[in-house]
Amino acid sequence: MVRTNKAKLTDGVLADLVAKSRLVVPGHVDPEVGEFRTDALTTHPVAVSLTATIAASLRWSAWTFDVQTAFLSGNATSREVYVRAPKDGLPKVKDERAIRPFELLQILKSAYGLSEAPRLWYLRARELMQQCGLVELACCKATFILVDPRTSLVEVIVCLHVDDGFVVGRAGSTLFETAKANMNKVFNIKEWICLQEQETDYLGYKVRQDETFEIHMSMKNYILQVKPMEFDKEASKEAEREVTDSERHDLLSLVMRLAWPARHCMPQVLYGVSYAAQTVRKAVVRTIKEVNKLLEFARHEAEEGRAELHFKAKAIDLTCPRVITPFDASFANEDGGKSQAAYVTVVTDDRVLTQEAVGNLVEFGSNKIHRVVRSTMAAESAALSIALDKQLYVRMLLEALLYGERSFSPEWKERMTIPGMVMAQTRTKEFCVAGNMVTDAKSLYDHLSRTGNLPSERQVMLDLLAAKELEEAGVTQIRWVPSVHQLADALTKSMVSKILVKFLNTNLYSLVQTGVEAADEEHRAELRRGQRKRRKERSKEAE
């Protein structure tokens, strides 16, 4: 029996006791563990970001709900499961007699602690959503849509994460209000929260929607509560001493606490977290100092308002959306000569091709390249492969959330865009989402945009051939930008990126190079040419 106090903190003061007791089955000692399915699907963070983008852009109302005692409401278990009652037994309730200590009980439905309880709840929730007229997306489980049969357009979206739901739709519309009423009937919903009226917790964020319909998802409070790792002054003098097992455990805990916001809303911190995670196994005292410094930087960013996602209201034209994915790689800069790949995916519209435009950050990542890369080109092509895969999924999911899910076929990639990037002018179900891959690697861009020799490295050649085939089929476009426009640059190395800071502050981004930037880029190119020339001259003199 697990007993908790559900009282909430108000201004740092704990309210009166709110006692709650929960009977929990010790599922970890189940002798049949591993012989039955326990997977329980939840919505994807990308689906939540895209849903927030759609809601803000179309000025839809956003709500959350919380299902009460969800795991006790799951489907019946398909196997025979018996447990013993607690040592004190269970008291008489309603028409049921008291249960004697250690009495043998059979579990008929889901129960807290039962290994398959999350899955039984997911299956039941899916059934109930279908009863409400919502359809689960095959490409993103636990994400449900309701299509208006008159227009064939999606009018309601529900993202379900275990027992917490995020619901958006046009306020006052019959479909939206009916869907909410139906969900209220079939689910044991504890509370509906309108995000324009009250801030609430969802997926670790503090979420709210302002009067303009802009949606804000913040992890500022979480970051400010993370404490640096403490160690004695004597240890601080031994910078290269290997950490003890206890220190390593505490260090890993700190890195993982930083990883949560870094992976969801703080791309400027993600490279540091990725690097720290790779060095924990061989950490020294200096590593602790570096991670504490990273936390200090993260806390500063949170104070400056850069620990949150903003989904701008009515700022993105969904009649001509465009998914932009800047990607980058660093070659052999990590310990052991390892390389790093990163990408940033932004949903914007066609205006980004000619001017500065609003864009919403929906996904980003930074990871060590696990395969062997022998050149900058190989590292960049590996990053391209990762970023292209991520972008295709975002575009497919965005299209499904706007217009319903198409049937999948071998040509699904080609059906996502029209060759030549011809865009639909109105919001119809024939709409396709365009996309651009963005790189600051000129050699990579030249290989993809011109006919010429292929690189000798076979894996690089395959990456480039796959990307080139998609570009020639009109599925995506590869675009070169100078480094000052590269959002992913700060995700592959330790640096402060002005363009990334500006984007996080304003949600503004552009693929267009200004005259000043062009002149600056040409000056840097001239310096690089001079460096290469001097290296060749020195090489000849040495011979």
Q: Are residues 114 and 198 in the same domain?
A: yes
Strands 477-480 and 434-439: parallel
User: In terms of domains, do 517 and 506 share one?
Assistant: no
Cα–Cα distance between 354 and 47 in angstroms, integer? Answer: 28
Residue 225 lies in a domain: no
Q: Is residue 224 part of a domain?
A: no
481 and 519: one domain? no
User: Do 439 and 495 fall within a single domain?
Assistant: yes
Do 497 and 538 have their domain in common?
no
In a domain, 100, yes or no: yes
Alpha-carbon distance values, 377 to 57, 440, 443 (Å)? 38, 12, 7
Give me the residues paired with residue 167 across strands. 63, 158
Q: What is the pairing mode between strands 434-439 and 321-330? A: parallel
pLDDT tens figures, 307-347? 999 999 989 999 889 999 999 999 887 777 788 999 999 99
Same domain, 278 and 423: no
Q: What is residue 428's predicted lDDT score, i.e. its pLDDT?
A: 38
The 3 state secondary structure assigned to 152-166 is CEEEEEEEEECCEEE
User: How far is C-alpha 465 from the geometric centre of its chain's CA atoms?
Assistant: 28
| Among 147, 52, 160, residue whose Cα is nearest residue 398 | 52
Where among 276, 303, 330 does a domain terminate? 303
Does the residue 296 lie in any domain?
Answer: yes
Question: Which residue range is the domain that position 539 belongs to?
Answer: 513-543
Same domain assignment for residues 10 and 148 = yes
Read off the pLDDT band of 411 (50, 70, 90).
Answer: low
Report the domain count for the chain: 4
- Report the SS3 class of residue 67: strand
Token match 């958006």: residue? 168
Judgement on whether residues 295 and 330 belong to the same structural domain of the protein: no
Q: Please tell me the pTM assigned to this model.
A: 0.86
In a domain, 223, yes or no: no
pLDDT of 415 > 70? The answer is no
Q: What pLDDT score was predicted for residue 462?
A: 78
| Residue 207 domain flag | yes
426 in the same domain as 406: yes
**CA distances (Å), origin 506, targets 254, 267, 283, 361:** 30, 15, 37, 11
Same domain, 297 and 344: no
Last residue of a domain, one of 187, 218, 249: 218
Distances (CA, A) of 101 to 84, 86, 88, 365, 446: 8, 6, 5, 52, 76
pLDDT digits over 29-84, tens only? 888 888 888 888 999 999 999 999 999 999 999 999 999 888 888 888 888 889 88
Cβ partners under 8 Å of residue 278, min gap 6: 334, 335, 338, 368
Residues 321 and 280 in one domain: no
Report the pLDDT averaged over residues 201-210: 95
Nearest residue to 65 (alpha-carbon basis) of 202, 179, 182: 202
The pLDDT value given to residue 87: 87
Which CATH number characterizes residue 336's domain? Answer: 3.30.420.10
Domain boundary among 183, 218, 253: 218
pLDDT tens, residue by residue, 89-110: 888 888 888 889 989 988 888 8
Give the model's pLDDT for residue 178.
Answer: 95
- Could you tell me if residue 40 is inside a domain? yes
Side-chain half-sphere CA neighbours of 140 within 13 A: 29
Q: How confident is the model at residue 172 (pLDDT cuts 50, 70, 90)?
A: confident
Task: Report whether 369 contacts 382 (CB < 8 A).
Answer: yes
Identify whether 308 is part of a domain.
Answer: no
- Greater confidence (160 vs 517) lies with 160
Q: What is the pLDDT of residue 424?
A: 25
Is the same domain home to 95 and 176?
yes
